[in-house]
Amino acid sequence: MNNSLMSKGRGIYILNAETVSLLLADGDAELIDIVRGAYETHRMGDSSLPHSTFLRFPGQEKNRIIALPAYLGGEFAVAGVKWIASFPANAELGMDRASAVVILNCAQTGRPQAILEGSIISAKRTAASAALAAQRLHGKEVDCLGLIGCGLIGFEIVRFLMSNMQVRNLVLFDTDMSRAEHFKTKCSNSFAGIEVRIAGSSAEVLGGCLLTALATTAVKPHISDLSAVAPGSTLLHVSLRDLTPEAILRCDNVADDIDHACRAQTSLHLAEQMSGNRAFIRCTLGDILRGDAPARKASDSITVFSPFGLGVLDLAVAKYCLDRAVEQNMATVLESFLPESWG
């Protein structure tokens, strides 16, 4: 850190989207390690993670802005909050669905240290989490990868999986065929040696791939029939609200944090309401990483990973960005952002 800036206590670092993107480029393996460390630190209890707060708008079911405050100890020693908006109709205006900022605070004084563009951080930590789960739950080789939901998060998940696993074929589905076609072209241009095909339905993807990521904007479950899913398959249920509670209850379920994942009408939350308990969730990914639980309940189980998306992951990746930006003199410094001490 810039000790002069921090000793004054009035300045703040600003990292815009271009800077964050440059700092996180070509660092997928390192980001997966960072996410692993964050999960393990959280699993050991060296964190503080209040429930996320959802700001919703009357009559706008899909639009929301979410605050994810957190503290992560251990090697990270960082506090802060991600403030992220999701407005799916933005695509019709030529804008991204999600926009976000991350604010980092000094864990010793509480004073804000940095403001970072957060949507890139959010997308990459989500993809790193999915890739880490895929490695632990499924292995490092997959003949056919499925993706339901062809947006930015889906692309980042595919990219992380491609860079850390052996994937031969990619099967896509999106309710908007033009988005699927655009996604296919982007993947074909970005990833060498992979066959990309667009499926006619989500059921076709689920029935043809042993590893499938779900990254949609669904607000209510729409997938109830998993009869075509092969035994031993893994579903990365990143969007959290695609599977009906009946489908969830028939699977081997792993979450990132059980208490967080059973909120806000997620599929896990609905399954809890239906069953009256949380016993259907076998463990967390942190339990598996720490060796406290096996990767799968059984070799022929359909394992579903449902990550609520923990703020500690955003803070871990944001701190990595900030540290590198300061080291490489890439951060903008806004002097005298905070007032002079009253005392």
Condensed to tens digits (0 to 9), the pLDDT of residues 120-174 reads 999 999 999 999 999 999 987 889 999 999 999 999 999 999 988 889 999 999 9
Q: How far is CA 337 from the centre of its chain?
A: 31
Condensed to tens digits (0 to 9), the pLDDT of residues 10-61 reads 899 999 999 999 999 988 999 999 999 999 999 999 999 999 999 999 999 8
The pTM score is: 0.93
* Mean pLDDT value across the chain: 94
Condensed to tens digits (0 to 9), the pLDDT of residues 92-116 reads 899 999 999 999 999 999 999 999 9
User: What is residue 8's predicted lDDT score, i.e. its pLDDT?
Assistant: 54
Q: CB-based burial of residue 143 (10 Å sphere; 0-12 exposed, 13-18 middle, 19+ buried)?
A: exposed
Which H/E stretch holds residue 229? none
Q: How far is CA 331 from the centre of its chain?
A: 25
User: What is residue 302's predicted lDDT score, i.e. its pLDDT?
Assistant: 98
Instruction: Please give the angle made by the CA atoms of 297, 298 and 300, to the nearest 5 degrees.
Output: 135
Half-sphere exposure of 205 (CA within 13 A, CB side): 28
User: What is residue 141's predicted lDDT score, i.e. its pLDDT?
Assistant: 82
Percent of the chain with pLDDT over 90: 88
User: What is residue 258's predicted lDDT score, i.e. its pLDDT?
Assistant: 98
Question: How do beta strands 211-214 and 332-334 pair?
Answer: unpaired
The number of beta carbons lying within 10 Å of the beta carbon of residue 85 is 18
Q: What is the full DSSP assignment across 62-86? A: EEEEEEEEEEE-TTT-EEEEEEEEE
User: What is residue 4's predicted lDDT score, i.e. its pLDDT?
Assistant: 42
Condensed to tens digits (0 to 9), the pLDDT of residues 188-237 reads 999 988 999 999 999 999 999 999 999 999 999 999 999 999 999 999 99
User: What is residue 28's predicted lDDT score, i.e. its pLDDT?
Assistant: 93
Task: Answer yes or no: is pLDDT of 3 > 80.
Answer: no
User: What is residue 220's predicted lDDT score, i.e. its pLDDT?
Assistant: 95
Domains (range + CATH), the chain: 3-121+311-334 (3.30.1780.10), 138-306 (3.40.50.720)
3-state secondary structure of 60: strand
Q: Which residues contact 93 (CB under 8 A, 6 or more apart)?
A: none
Query: Which value, in Å, is the radius of gyration of the alpha carbons in the chain?
Result: 20
User: What is residue 26's predicted lDDT score, i.e. its pLDDT?
Assistant: 84
Of residues 109, 116, 86, 101, the one with CA closest to residue 24: 116
Question: How do beta strands 112-117 and 98-105 pair?
Answer: antiparallel
Half-sphere exposure of 242 (CA within 13 A, CB side): 25
Total count of residues recorded for the chain: 343
Mean per-residue pLDDT for 298-313?
Answer: 97
Condensed to tens digits (0 to 9), the pLDDT of residues 226-271 reads 999 999 999 999 999 999 999 999 999 999 999 999 999 999 999 9
Task: Answer yes or no: is pLDDT of 1 > 50.
Answer: no
| Gap between the Cα atoms of 194 and 169, Å rounded | 6
